[in-house]
Structure 1
């Protein structure tokens, strides 16, 4: 941006057209945990193929019914916004849809965040304050860093205990090999020079 450009008064993130079309085909309810993770991983792979961001996707669902509230992908590259990680996008879209920053306002409708990779330090803070009551992810952070070269930030060693202390249940590791494949494809594209590496998941 030129230094003489006026200071902006707003910013925003808009999902790409392919994701809008994808959202229209998502089932309204996904009760099976494996099906949820496979759906997230498929969207993450599509994000890389479309060139709109990194190999990450997330869903926000009703924990009990499986009703899908929102779907998000990493949009750092297409939006030029460093905080546009998949988890932040999915949580923000969910908050917009329900009209409340606190997704845990109604105890009868606990909500879960499902992602194909462990949240980075930024996304960890975001999910804590979002009001979700469960986190389900596949690939652990150290593997994300090893495979992709991303810096996931100073995630505390006791992150799981910190979430559970705040009433957020944690499940991990489902379909890890399948989800890792999408990360490895991303790494191959970076090595080939078809995708630019940036910091964070």
Structure 2
């Protein structure tokens, strides 16, 4: 084989390697997909922190991303509700306003858990190709329930507003529920992003 042929083969091989490497460089990883999607939320850092562990199941699927975000919200809402219930049972506040705020918060968090559960079930009903009025119907239900859950979370947080309720209970409960409100806000943004992307 002549030197010219060897040189030509070497150039072809280098070109193939370069093309393959370039193709790989342009592909986005699941983590990149989550990070870029989270930029559309109000709390992008929290969004990425709470969803990055689900990267293997999310891949680059907007529906799976929304589903994971709702699951995170539901888990944290349940945890907050359990914490509030435990406080009421084992160490209830002595001040009436604190006690009432805590009871009201338990009720609203229960509603939040119920609505987030419904939204996850509704989103899971979207199977196969995304299209038509069925998509609009299911997504409208999901958006309505997640929005209502966020209102529930915010209502609980607002129930502890003002210095009159400062103290142990507020310091313990308010940050927990505020976190639930923030991840639910992020979940709603990702649900809306999914709905807008695939709306007929």
State if a TM-score over 0.5 links the two structures.
Answer: no
Rg (Cα) greater in structure: 2
Range into which the TM-score falls when normalised by the shorter chain: under 0.3
- Looking at secondary structure, tell me which structure has more helix per residue: 2
TM-score w.r.t. length of structure 2: 0.23
TM-score w.r.t. length of structure 1: 0.23
- Looking at secondary structure, tell me which structure has more strand per residue: 1
